[in-house]
Structures are given as structure tokens and as C-alpha cells.
């Protein structure tokens, strides 16, 4: 069995992408909190529209989390079954790991940012104080904020 090493910069870029995705979500969450605690509502929010967006967000988040678990496994399983030589399989495995990791980050970040946009709309519409359930849209942000550092 040959000994394989990681190419230079492989781990750096994996860490960089995780931190970039997590920091984008943290900045958006900071905007939500800043607007909530310092801003005045700009207008009366449309509660029905935000309820529809919240349900849509829940469906997208759950579907994304399911896809996050299933699709990268299928990708890596197909690489494991490949008939190529040892060195080529190693390179395929590294590309597969990077692709699966980026896929997970993107699929987690999309619903997180969508949920935070709904929170911003609810804050600007003055609905966060009257309908605190809209804060639940921010919970999808926890998925990427927990995934990014815990899987380094």
C-alpha cells in the first residue's frame, strides 16, 4: 500500500470556505439583531406573506438537511467503487471530499440566509415583537454555525 499525502493547501481551503460561510451567516444575524434592538419598524409588515415565507423556509431547510446527508454519501460511494489505480483513486477521493464538503456548506448556508432575510423583513415590519414565532426562521442558521467548526 502506498502512502499518500494531502496536497499543499488542501486543508487551508477547506477551513477557509467553512469560515467564510459561517462568517456570512454571523454578519446577517448581527444585522437582524442590530435592527431589532436599535431600529424603528419602517412599516406595518405583511404577516400573511411572512407566514408563507416561513413555511417555505421550513420546507427548504428540511429538504436541504436531508440532501446534505444523502447526496455527499452517494458521491463518495461512487468514488469508492471506481476501478482506477491507487494514485488516481486517491486524487478522486480528495476531489470527492472537497466537493462533498462544499456541497454541504452551500446547502446549509442557503436556508440559513433565507431564514435571516425573513427575520429582517419581520423586524422591519414590526412583527417580531407581536409575533415572536418569526424568530424560528433564524434557527436554520445554527446548522451551518455548528457544522462549520465542529467538522474541522
pTM (two decimals): 0.85
Please give the Cα distance from 119 to 124 (Å, whole number).
Answer: 9
Residue that has been written with the C-alpha cell 407581536 in this structure: 130
pLDDT digits (tens, 9 = 90+) for 131-151: 999 999 999 999 889 988 887
pLDDT digits (tens, 9 = 90+) for 101-122: 888 899 999 999 999 999 999 9
Please give the Cα distance from 115 to 120 (Å, whole number).
Answer: 9
Q: Of 20-34, 47-61, 83-97, which range is least confident?
A: 83-97
What's the length of the chain? Answer: 152
Amino acid at each position: 500500500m502506498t502512502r499518500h499525502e494531502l496536497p499543499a493547501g488542501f486543508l487551508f481551503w477547506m477551513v477557509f470556505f467553512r469560515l467564510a460561510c459561517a462568517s456570512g451567516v454571523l454578519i446577517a444575524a448581527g444585522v437582524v439583531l442590530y435592527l431589532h434592538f436599535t431600529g424603528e419598524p419602517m412599516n406595518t409588515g405583511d404577516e400573511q406573506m411572512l407566514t408563507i415565507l416561513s413555511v417555505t423556509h421550513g420546507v427548504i431547510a428540511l429538504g436541504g438537511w436531508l440532501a446534505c446527508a444523502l447526496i455527499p454519501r452517494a458521491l463518495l460511494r461512487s468514488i469508492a467503487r471506481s476501478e482506477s489505480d491507487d494514485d488516481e483513486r486517491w486524487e478522486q477521493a480528495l476531489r470527492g471530499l472537497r466537493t462533498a464538503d462544499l456541497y454541504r456548506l452551500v446547502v446549509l448556508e442557503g436556508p440559513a440566509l433565507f431564514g435571516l432575510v425573513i427575520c429582517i423583513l419581520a423586524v422591519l415590519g414590526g412583527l417580531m415583537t407581536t409575533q415572536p414565532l418569526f424568530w424560528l426562521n433564524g434557527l436554520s442558521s445554527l446548522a451551518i454555525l455548528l457544522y462549520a467548526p465542529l467538522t474541522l
